[in-house]
């Protein structure tokens, strides 16, 4: 943001969040912002003089407009604090809207009222949620999720009135004209609302989107991918998978027909990414494609394997990043099995062969890794990642492992 937009937006937003906006304030506290909030090195010894001067000039300009005023230190020109001229709040909001596309609180409340009027009779849940939203409008409160409400109500109104068997992506096309929008954007808030008003008991380990089945909406058929020296007894027939070099896919709906799974190898390994699952081959390892966090069917399948093969060594192979370690942590938690980490250590991050494939950490990576480093299992590797700002995807490791086998 430019300094002008940053100062005015900060002051206006804080005014609208305060009791002054509704007239319920008992004391008339000034709405203010410190200059270091706008330019963090404003009072620092290494602050850029040109930036400080530019901010000072901008404050003078906005003061002349009648939008703000400021106080300076007793003996000098440094600004101590910048204050909003309350009487100019509407003029400032219009100025921000015209110049920067700012959406004022009044405009948000107007949009919310339009949503209430449009959806209040669309479906039973929409009616109940619109009643709550109407109270927010009356109290001049804007929900944090106000931007997504239109898309959520649009889906809810369709789903509650649906009587046709549909797949999730078909619903997405009908509601949004986009096959992936529902899954990628509104699935969680929509299913949360559906569950909020549902009388059905939630089963243990049930996924949040399974509520959609009550409305004739289904996921694409789930598949379980496995390969290696393993024999599956299904519907009374023994199926030896060792002859299938790339493994097979089992429909999740066939899980109930499986009587037993015999691992004829010393190791069973879950693999996070499909490319690594396809690439990795070891005669003494049965491989299972996970694809991310284990879903309900994968959990049931893995538990079935463990129940009949308790002496097998269980391992997990994934990305050496925050997501990879959280997937492993979740896998161990929900299955009750201690999966050993396979080539997911600082040794791989230090390996010169992978140096060109290392990536830096994002802010989100860092936040998630800081939680992981409190766990002994991950602490050493995670500390190395944080200290060296690195992460690594598993595909290069699986490729390298197989190339080594070919040259041996």
| pLDDT higher than 80, residue 28 | no
| pLDDT higher than 70, residue 397 | yes
Distance CA 275, CA 261 (A): 25
Is residue 216 helix, strand or coil? Answer: coil
pLDDT at 16: 84
381-385 own/partner pairs: CB under 8 Å, 24+ apart: 381/320, 381/325, 381/344, 381/345, 381/346, 381/349, 382/325, 384/346, 384/349, 384/350, 385/320, 385/321, 385/346, 385/349, 385/361
Could you tell me which residues come within 8 angstroms of residue 353 by beta carbon, excluding any fewer than 6 positions away? 400
pLDDT at 78: 86
DSSP per residue, 248-261: EEEEGGGGGGEEEE
Is residue 391 helix, strand or coil? Answer: strand
Average pLDDT over residues 214-219: 85
| pLDDT higher than 90, residue 340 | yes
| pLDDT higher than 80, residue 27 | no
With 0-12 / 13-18 / 19 or more C-beta atoms within 10 angstroms meaning exposed / middle / buried, residue 116 is buried
Distance CA 128, CA 125 (A): 5
Q: Of 256, 318, 258, 252, give the one whose Cα is nearest residue 290.
A: 318
Q: H or E segment at 195? A: helix 187-196
Encode pLDDT of 224-256 as tens digits: 999 999 999 999 999 999 989 889 999 888 888
pLDDT at 128: 95
Encode pLDDT of 293-329 as tens digits: 888 789 999 999 999 999 999 999 999 999 999 999 9
Encode pLDDT of 178-203 as tens digits: 999 999 999 999 999 999 998 766 65
- Reported as a pLDDT band with limits 50, 70 and 90, residue 26 is low
Q: Of 113, 107, 16, 4, give the one whose Cα is nearest residue 65.
A: 4
- Reported as a pLDDT band with limits 50, 70 and 90, residue 220 is confident
Q: Kindly report the backbone phi and psi dihedral angles of residue 143, in degrees, each rounded to the nearest multiple of 5, phi listed first.
A: -60, 150
Is residue 403 helix, strand or coil? Answer: helix
| pLDDT higher than 70, residue 204 | no
Q: 224 pairs with which residues across the strands? A: 250
Distance CA 290, CA 220 (A): 16
Q: H or E segment at 398? A: helix 395-407
Q: Which of 384 and 222 is assigned the larger pLDDT?
A: 384
Token couple for 406:
């070919």
Distance CA 393, CA 8 (A): 43
Encode pLDDT of 69-115 as tens digits: 999 887 777 899 999 999 998 999 899 888 988 888 888 888 999 99
Strands 258-263 and 230-234: antiparallel
pLDDT at 81: 92
Distance CA 12, CA 84 (A): 8
| pLDDT higher than 80, residue 406 | no
Residue listed under structure tokens 């004209």: 177
| pLDDT higher than 90, residue 336 | yes
The average confidence (pLDDT) of the chain is 90
Contact 298, 265 (CB under 8 A): no
pLDDT at 104: 83
Average pLDDT over residues 19-31: 77
The CATH T-level fold of domain 3-101 is: Arc Repressor Mutant, subunit A (1.10.10)
Beta strands in 253-348 (DSSP E): 258-263, 267-271, 285-289, 313-317, 340-341
- Reported as a pLDDT band with limits 50, 70 and 90, residue 21 is confident
Is residue 237 helix, strand or coil? Answer: strand
Encode pLDDT of 138-168 as tens digits: 888 888 888 899 999 999 999 999 988 889 9
Contact 58, 65 (CB under 8 A): no
User: Sign of dihedral through CA atoms 152, 153, 156, 161?
Assistant: negative
pLDDT at 284: 95
Average pLDDT over residues 369-394: 95
pLDDT at 407: 63
pLDDT at 61: 93
What's the full length of the chain, in residues? 408
The CATH T-level fold of domain 223-407 is: Dna Topoisomerase Vi A Subunit; Chain: A, domain 2 (3.40.1360)
pLDDT at 202: 63
38-41 own/partner pairs: CB under 8 Å, 24+ apart: 38/3, 38/6, 38/7, 38/10, 38/82, 39/3
pLDDT at 253: 82
Q: Of 229, 224, 401, 397, give the one whose Cα is nearest residue 312.
A: 229
Domain residue ranges of the chain, discontinuous segments joined by +: 3-101, 106-218, 223-407
| pLDDT higher than 60, residue 408 | no
Is residue 141 helix, strand or coil? Answer: coil
């Amino acid at each position: 943001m430019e300094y002008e937009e940053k100062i005015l937006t900060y002051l206006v937003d804080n005014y609208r969040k305060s009791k002054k906006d509704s007239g319920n304030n008992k004391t008339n506290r000034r709405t203010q912002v410190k200059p270091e909030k706008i330019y963090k090195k404003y009072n620092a010894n290494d602050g850029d003089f040109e930036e400080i001067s530019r901010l000072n000039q901008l404050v003078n300009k906005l003061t002349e407009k009648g939008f703000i005023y400021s106080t300076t230190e007793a003996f000098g020109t440094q600004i101590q604090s910048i204050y909003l001229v309350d009487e100019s709040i509407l003029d400032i909001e219009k100025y921000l809207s015209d110049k920067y596309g700012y959406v004022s609180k009044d405009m948000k409340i107007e949009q919310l009222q339009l949503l209430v009027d449009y959806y209040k009779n669309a479906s039973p849940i929409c009616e109940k949620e619109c009643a709550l939203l109407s109270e927010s409008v009356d109290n001049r409160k804007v929900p944090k999720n106000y931007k997504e409400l239109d898309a959520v109500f649009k889906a809810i109104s369709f789903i509650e009135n649906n009587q046709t068997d549909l797949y999730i992506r078909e619903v997405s096309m009908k509601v949004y004209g986009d096959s992936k929008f529902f899954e990628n954007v509104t699935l969680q808030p929509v299913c949360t609302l559906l569950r909020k008003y549902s009388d059905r008991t939630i089963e243990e380990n049930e996924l949040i989107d399974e509520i959609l089945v009550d409305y004739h909406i289904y996921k694409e058929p789930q598949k379980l991918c496995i390969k290696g020296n393993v024999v599956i007894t299904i519907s009374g027939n023994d199926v030896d998978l060792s002859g299938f070099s790339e493994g097979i896919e089992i429909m999740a709906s066939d899980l109930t027909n499986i009587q037993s799974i015999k691992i004829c190898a010393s190791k069973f390994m879950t693999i996070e990414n499909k490319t690594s699952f396809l690439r990795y081959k070891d005669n003494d390892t049965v491989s299972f494609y996970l694809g991310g966090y284990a879903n309900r069917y994968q959990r049931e399948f893995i538990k079935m394997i463990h129940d009949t093969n308790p002496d097998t060594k269980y391992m997990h192979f994934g990305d050496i990043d925050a997501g990879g370690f959280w997937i492993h942590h979740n896998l161990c938690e929900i299955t009750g099995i201690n999966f050993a980490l396979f080539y997911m250590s600082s040794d791989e991050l230090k390996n010169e062969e992978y140096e060109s494939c290392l990536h830096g950490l994002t802010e989100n990576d860092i936040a998630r890794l800081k939680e992981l480093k409190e766990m002994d299992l991950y602490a050493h590797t995670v500390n190395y990642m944080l200290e060296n700002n690195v992460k690594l995807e598993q595909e290069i490791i699986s490729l390298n492992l197989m190339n080594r086998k070919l040259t041996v």
